[in-house]
A = this chain, B = another copy of it.
Amino acid sequence: MRIILIGYGVVGQSLTDIFLQRKIENLRNYGFNPKVVAITDRGGAAINIKGLDLKRIQSIKKREGTVAADSVFGHRQMSGQDIIQSIEAEIMIEATSTNITTGEPGISNIKTAFNTGKHVVTTNKGPLALSFPTLIELAEHNKVLLRFSGTVGGGTPILEFAKKCLEGDRIKEIHGILNGTTNYILTEMAEKKVTFEKALESAQKLGYAETNPAMDIDGLDSAAKVVIIGNWIMNKKFTLKDVDIIGIRDITLNALEIASKKGKRIKLIGSIDGKPTVAPKEIERNDPLCVNGVLNAVTFVSEYAGRETIIGRGAGGIETASAVLRDLLDIKHHLANKILS
């Protein structure tokens, strides 16, 4: 299975870690033999149609900052688009950064992959948040698969849980804490009685929040995940602009205290229950959904199986890379059984 990896940040590098660790042992048990034929980053690309030596590429990336610095296989002038168009491969992994306004370069990368007959695994939420229905249609039209387990819940298989484990049932509602940064901030505020600003500062110090934290605290990241869950799991067709979004900037210590006195906590909840929404809500402290720190949690309410909650870390390089690995294995199974959906 030939793979093009576009974007070589934390997730991409963790994925090559897993490939290296697992190459000899378990992966072969799945009849899965990944061959990475090209990797791109902001500095250019490294290409070897016989399969890159991942150990070599990793050390060049570490030393030089870009895979394009490889003296034999490096190409400073080649972009992701160039690679996807010109290099043959079965799969393109889109692991560039999320841009929630334009979706680029993710959207173009995914479209080009589809047009050249490649299956796509993406960890980039931007393209899906802005164009989910279009991208799914385009994949079907081109008879290729689109997978994106790493976009929701990091390594926690939230999408797969709903899709593979609740078959035959009907999911009626979904409610989730979908963003670890905001959950960390709200937990700090509630437990240590610090202000929003102080808690945000602490999140930034620990590397949980970006220098520009708007995407998290204004609820956009959660909303992107609501779009992905709603489209994929509940077959609803909508995009980011259809989600009612309220962030956590205005949550006061006083509001948290009032909730606490009622045995409740305020959490930023993404919901698909009628209209898709993201908003701070009071939930019972004993509710399984009420997790603390950077944890994510999603509750599915289904017709027969009832109310089920899945909890895990929502981020992390190796965790998200493990989701990419699952997507790759899933595509492999589909191809083996010739099921294209």
Residues of A at under 8 Å CB distance from B? 18, 22, 26-27, 30, 32, 155-157, 160-161, 164-170, 286, 288, 291-292, 295, 297, 302, 304-313, 316, 318-319, 321-323, 325-326, 328-330, 337, 339
Q: Which 6 A-B pairs have the closest CB atoms?
A: A304-B322, A155-B305, A157-B165, A308-B312, A288-B311, A309-B311
> How long is the Cα–Cα vector from A101 to B126 in the complex, in angstroms?
56
Q: Are A316 and B326 interface neighbours, CB within 8 A?
A: no
Q: Are A18 and B304 interface neighbours, CB within 8 A?
A: yes
Q: Are A161 and B165 interface neighbours, CB within 8 A?
A: yes
> How long is the Cα–Cα vector from A312 to B287 in the complex, in angstroms?
11
Q: Are B322 and A305 interface neighbours, CB within 8 A?
A: yes
Chain B residues with CB under 8 A of A291:
288
Chain B residues with CB under 8 A of A26:
168, 170
Chain B minimum-CB-distance residue to A295: B288
Q: A289: shortest Cβ distance to chain B, in Å?
A: 9
Q: Are B311 and A311 interface neighbours, CB within 8 A?
A: yes
Chain B residues with CB under 8 A of A337:
337, 339
Q: A264: shortest Cβ distance to chain B, in Å?
A: 15
> How long is the Cα–Cα vector from A26 to B171 in the complex, in angstroms?
13
Cβ-neighbour of A288 out of B22, B166, B297, B308 (below 8 A): B297
Cβ-neighbour of A164 out of B160, B288, B325, B339 (below 8 A): B160
Additional A-B contact list (5), CB under 8 Å, known A155-B304, A157-B305, A306-B319: A156-B306, A157-B308, A165-B326, A304-B322, A306-B312
Cβ-neighbour of A312 out of B156, B157, B286, B307 (below 8 A): B307
22 contacts between A and B (CB under 8 A): A18-B304, A26-B170, A30-B167, A155-B305, A156-B305, A157-B305, A157-B308, A160-B165, A161-B161, A164-B165, A166-B326, A167-B330, A168-B322, A169-B322, A288-B297, A302-B322, A304-B318, A304-B322, A304-B325, A306-B313, A309-B310, A309-B311
